[in-house]
Structure 1
Amino acid sequence: MALKSSSLLLLLLLVSATALVSGHLSPTFYSSTCPGLRRTVRSAMAEAVRQNPRNAAFLIRLFFHDCFVNGCDGSILLDSTAAFASEKFALPNNNSARGFELVDAIKARVEAICPATVSCADVLALSTQEGVALLGGPTWTVELGRRDSRAAFQSAANKEIPSPFDDLKELVALFRAKGLDARDMTALSGAHTIGQAQCFTYAPRIHEDRNIDGGFAARLRRTCPASGRGGARAPLDSRTPYRFDNAFYQELVAKRGLLHSDQELFNGGSQDKLVRRYSTDAAAFERDFAAAMVKMGALLPRPGTKGEIRRKCNRIN
């Protein structure tokens, strides 16, 4: 006997709820409950990238910083409340993390077609993938079914997100703590092929490091003082700052990595061989980057963490 429409809807809701509780992710999670999701996100990101290519860089950074703190749960999008301090004001994010309004705008479009159905965490994951593809980067299958956190974790953000001043050993340890190996780390660092950095994050690199191209350092010193205060922003990849490609690794081989932590990937250590390969083999980089993004995107909140489908990404329901 065929199920009545009301019974079918109940069954779909029960299946979705079970998947969310168990932590199961699936690329078809919203195929029945929000079939227009991907089309809506793709359209919104296409507009955003046309207006400003840096929007893609903003979102990939938000996604990375979100996943590294209690899993990919949208916690970075929350404003402070009396109960918790926002991750937006953690040291790795304060005055540097951007794109929150863009995520809110995309979420609003999704809410208009599928109210209270798609999590902010999933909106961020999908938007990130679309942004990378729009700048010429690889595509990957985005697993869906995340729930949104009901709290932010500023203290964890201060401790667990890698710093631009970290050395290779520290970077490997931070990624390993999240279940990501050194290859994942090196591939994910390729996201720095787009985006910019503030002077204070690279001032020690251009004024103190020795493994740096002299002309590159001299040029940057003209607009970024050793104090790091009041200086200019600079592209993380000066070759093709608005295209997602493997030029970031070519810059590392030429000792023109902007951040100390980036140049540590090519500094006589364990990742030199892989960096050289990525610098000449764009397909290998794209393949590994896509695989690492899927792996990072599967980081789930700690067991027992409460979740919901937030209607507004900056506050709990």
Structure 2
Amino acid sequence: MFSSPSKPFLLFIIINLAAITPFLSNAQLNTTFYASTCPNVSSIVRNAVQQALQSDPRIGASLIRLHFHDCFVNGCDASILLDGSASIRSEKNAAPNINSTRGFVVVDNIKTSLENSCPGIVSCADILALAAEASVSLQSGTSNLSWNVALGRRDSLTANQAGANTSIPSPFEGLANITSKFNAVGLNTNDLVALSGAHTFGRAQCRTFSNRLYNFNGTGNPDPTLNTTYLVSLRQTCPQNGSGFSLSNLDVTSPDTFDNNYFRNLQNQQGLLQSDQELFSTAGSATVSIVNTFISNQTAFFESFVQSMINMGNISPLTGSNGEIRLDCKKVNGS
């Protein structure tokens, strides 16, 4: 929660907790799932993320991305963490993930700590959800943004590489396609804009946006929605024949802090990815007014982000006797 929360914010939380309680009940997720079996789970995860941030300021954004890319493929089941095997085609090798997703070592470190503290209890899928929350909380500065994560997910017994190739939104896609992918997993337009706000920190590789700099949509020209001064700066970071793996800040203003500057950047035509800028530059889209609201009211963004993270974390979880609690997040038990 926010420090010294306002009455409207408390009312927002109360209303929305009431609204999602039936959904959480149906999904069998709850915020006290490990209260008796692993009461220190949240602090163990938070401490590991905090330690990782000391040497890698990118890791928070990377951990949120792991949770996002996991949930969009067969639900939040930690399938993204499985290595390839004779029976598993790893999602790590899918186009949206290969040479791109990171943070697996941190997840493994968290799992090791939890196995030492409460063996066989905490799922890898819940680790991803907790690590995402901790990443936001630790990088939200004085805003002190946090929430109670609903828990009780179990881990998948397989992966879905083909699904990862088709279900995860791409930085090259237009707004209509991305909206369709969000709708397919039960997320709406407000969720789309709020979750895109996670790009308020982290980095992106040149190969994910260089087409905007030199040959947008095959025109031989840059994307007209790019601020011209920003274009010059990005071309210096990502020369036309340079390495596609060089990095650029997703948020040109405050790249390592979780705030609402990402949305102000869109207004200034400084969205790094095509999928970012289209939230504001697509005429007539419902996303424009949401972006404007988040620009003028950071608290509104934070409230929406929390609710959308809860919504995303509830995408088709495995619960009850489905799946398993992996002892090693990289492989199915007994393999």
- 1:221-240 aligned at under 5 Å gives the runs 221-226=235-240, 229-230=243-244, 232-240=246-254
CA pair 140-84 structure 1, distance change in 2 beyond 3 A: same
Shift of the alpha carbon at 1:305? 10
Shift of the alpha carbon at 1:301? 4.6
CA distance in 1, matches of 2:211, 2:201: 21
CA pair 114-135 structure 1, distance change in 2 beyond 3 A: same
CA pair 49-302 structure 1, distance change in 2 beyond 3 A: closer
Q: Which residue matches 1:12? A: none
CA distance in 2, matches of 1:94, 1:305: 31
Q: Which residue matches 2:313? A: 297
- 1:82-231 aligned at under 5 Å gives the runs 82-136=86-140, 138-207=145-214, 208-226=222-240, 229-230=243-244
Equivalent pair of 1:140/1:294 in contact (CA under 8 Å) = no
- 5+ unaligned residues in a row in structure 2: which ranges? 1-23, 215-221
Equivalent pair of 1:203/1:228 in contact (CA under 8 Å) = no
More displaced, 137-146 or 85-94?
A: 137-146
Equivalent pair of 1:120/1:310 in contact (CA under 8 Å) = yes
More displaced, 298-307 or 224-233?
A: 298-307
CA distance in 1, matches of 2:97, 2:271: 21
The structure 1 segments of at least 4 consecutive aligned residues displaced by more than 2 Å after TM superposition are 20-23, 225-232, 301-306
More displaced, 78-87 or 136-145?
A: 136-145
Shift of the alpha carbon at 1:28? 0.4
- 5+ unaligned residues in a row in structure 1: which ranges? 1-19
CA pair 303-128 structure 1, distance change in 2 beyond 3 A: closer
Shift of the alpha carbon at 1:50? 2.1
CA distance in 2, matches of 1:91, 1:123: 24
CA pair 256-84 structure 1, distance change in 2 beyond 3 A: same
1:43 and 2:47 aligned: yes
CA distance in 2, matches of 1:266, 1:121: 33
Shift of the alpha carbon at 1:228? 6.9
Equivalent pair of 2:123/2:153 in contact (CA under 8 Å) = yes
More displaced, 186-195 or 133-142?
A: 133-142
Shift of the alpha carbon at 1:294? 0.2
CA pair 228-138 structure 1, distance change in 2 beyond 3 A: farther
CA distance in 2, matches of 1:302, 1:120: 12
Q: Which residue matches 2:298? A: 282
Q: Which residue matches 1:26? A: 30
More displaced, 297-306 or 21-30?
A: 297-306
CA pair 158-212 structure 1, distance change in 2 beyond 3 A: same
Q: Partner of 1:190: helix, strand, or coil?
A: helix
Q: 1:283-311 CA distances to partner (integer Å, 9 max, x unpaired)?
A: 00000000000000011258999510000
Q: Which residue matches 1:80? A: 84
Identity of aligned residues (%): 47
Shift of the alpha carbon at 1:21? 12
Q: TM-score, normalised by structure 1?
A: 0.90
Q: 1:211-245 CA distances to partner (integer Å, 9 max, x unpaired)?
A: 11001011111231346744621010011000000
Q: Partner of 1:234: helix, strand, or coil?
A: strand
Shift of the alpha carbon at 1:22? 6.8
Aligned-partner residue type, residue 142 of structure 1 = V
Q: Partner of 1:237: helix, strand, or coil?
A: coil
CA distance in 2, matches of 1:67, 1:188: 13
Equivalent pair of 2:174/2:278 in contact (CA under 8 Å) = yes
Aligned residues: 298
Shift of the alpha carbon at 1:135? 0.2
Q: Which residue matches 2:332? A: 316
CA pair 46-227 structure 1, distance change in 2 beyond 3 A: same
Shift of the alpha carbon at 1:108? 0.5
CA root-mean-square deviation: 2.0
Q: 1:131-180 CA distances to partner (integer Å, 9 max, x unpaired)?
A: 11000162122000000001011000000000001111111101000100
